[in-house]
Amino acid sequence: MIELKTEREIALMRRAGQVVAGLLEHLCGLARPGVTTKALDEAARLYIRSQEALPAFLGYRGYPAAICVSVNEEVVHGIPGERRIKDGDLVSIDAGAVVEGYYADAATTIGVGTLTPLAQRLQDATRQALADGIGQAVVGRRLSDISHAVQQRVEREGFGVVRDFVGHGIGRAMHEEPAIPNFGPPNAGPRLRPGMVLAIEPMVTAGRHEVEVLADGWTAVTKDRSLAAHFEHTVAIMETGTDILTRRRGDA
Ligand code: MF3
Ligand code: CO
């Protein structure tokens, strides 16, 4: 069953979403050559605490950090550590926050310094795939319209869509129903309704789409070690349109 959220619940998730949006912007400013991924995690913990929110990832199924930082061939769930970011890296940062028990989850992929043309195209295609998916997250469409739009964009650009990880409903838990694959036929699955809140998150590879998890039990990398990118937003489906809860807005 997909739980429908009230206006009040969505307002709390919007607060959590704005913490995540501000955090990702903050971390993008810090991710320069020579910085370790662990330093980004430390900055994230301080930032989230300063916003009177809680880190959603820390301790989730034993996950040891507040954010995931996945560099180049790492797709998702990279554990912050001693790896130093260097010029030309494609760095995916995934973060979640909790406000009064309500979750928001978002990810972005940044290019550090000068990207290769391939890395640039991958970043752009993944960002656009998320936008296309969100474009289908409207009342009256069906769940797999999101999946299909993402896959169409990714494959039209000549890239691969990861199958082993999916987007998800979100609310009083980080992962709620439904699962949201980034591939599939159009016009299938549940009808989208006002009050549904979804975390849509395409994970895209420059080569083959298969991934494997490293011995640390978390870090997912492309099997062929090709580059990967990841963008995610938490969106609320409203009668009046789609509210991107994790989109950075003005402070007013
Ligand atoms: N955004 C990811 C997800 O939706 C991150 C969670 S994994 C964690 O599943 F363990 F780091 F929390
Ligand atoms: Co997510």
Count of structural domains within the chain: 1
Residue 13 lies in a domain: yes
Strands (E), 114-222: 160-161, 167-169, 176-180, 197-200, 203-205, 211-213, 220-222
**Residue whose CB lies within 8 A of the most ligand 1 atoms, among 74, 94, 105, for a mutation test:** 94
Q: Report the pLDDT averaged over residues 187-198.
A: 98
Q: Which atom, in ligand 1's list, is nearest to the CA of 167?
A: 4
From atom 2 of ligand 1, which residue's Cα is the shortest distance away?
Answer: 94
Rounded distance, CA 46 to CA 204, Å?
Answer: 30
Asked whether the CA dihedral 219, 223, 227, 233 is positive or negative, the reply is: negative
Q: Report the pLDDT averaged over residues 57-82.
A: 98
Residue 251 lies in a domain: no
Residue 163 lies in a domain: yes
Q: Which atom, in ligand 1's list, is nearest to the CA of 106?
A: 1
**Residue whose CB lies within 8 A of the most ligand 1 atoms, among 60, 103, 162, 180, for a mutation test:** 60
Print the domain residue range for 16.
7-244
* CATH number of the domain that residue 196 is part of: 3.90.230.10
Can you give the pLDDT at residue 251?
56
Tokens representing 183? 């591939």
Residues with Cβ < 8 Å from 195, sequence gap 6 or more?
Answer: 4, 5, 6, 10, 236, 237, 238
Q: What's the gap in Å between 231 CA and the centre of ligand 2?
A: 10
Q: What's the gap in Å between 16 CA and the centre of ligand 1?
A: 15
- In the numeric block, the tokens 């978390």 are attached to 218
Residues with CB under 6 A from ligand 1: 57, 60-61, 63, 68, 77, 94, 105, 107, 168, 199, 232
| In the predicted structure, residue 46 carries a pLDDT above the cut 60 | yes
Q: What is the pTM of this model?
A: 0.98
Q: Which atom, in ligand 1's list, is nearest to the CA of 57?
A: 12
> For 120-154, how does the pLDDT look when each residue is reduced to its tens digit (9 = 90+)?
999 999 999 999 999 999 999 999 999 999 999 99
Q: Residue 81 CA to chain centroid, in angstroms?
A: 20
Q: How confident is the model at residue 250 (pLDDT cuts 50, 70, 90)?
A: confident
Q: What's the gap in Å between 199 CA and the centre of ligand 2?
A: 6
Rounded distance, CA 217 to CA 73, Å?
Answer: 16
Nearest 5°: the CA angle 223, 174, 191 is 90
What is the pLDDT of the chain when averaged over all its residues? 98
Q: 230, 203 in Cβ contact below 8 A?
A: yes
| In the predicted structure, residue 252 carries a pLDDT above the cut 60 | no
Report long-range pairs for 44-49 (Cβ below 8 Å, ≥24 apart). Answer: 44/95, 47/22, 47/23, 48/19, 48/23, 48/97
Using only C-alpha atoms, the chain has a radius of gyration, in whole angstroms, of 17
Residue 250 lies in a domain: no
Q: In the chain, pLDDT over 90 holds for what percent of residues?
A: 98
Rounded distance, CA 232 to CA 14, Å?
Answer: 15
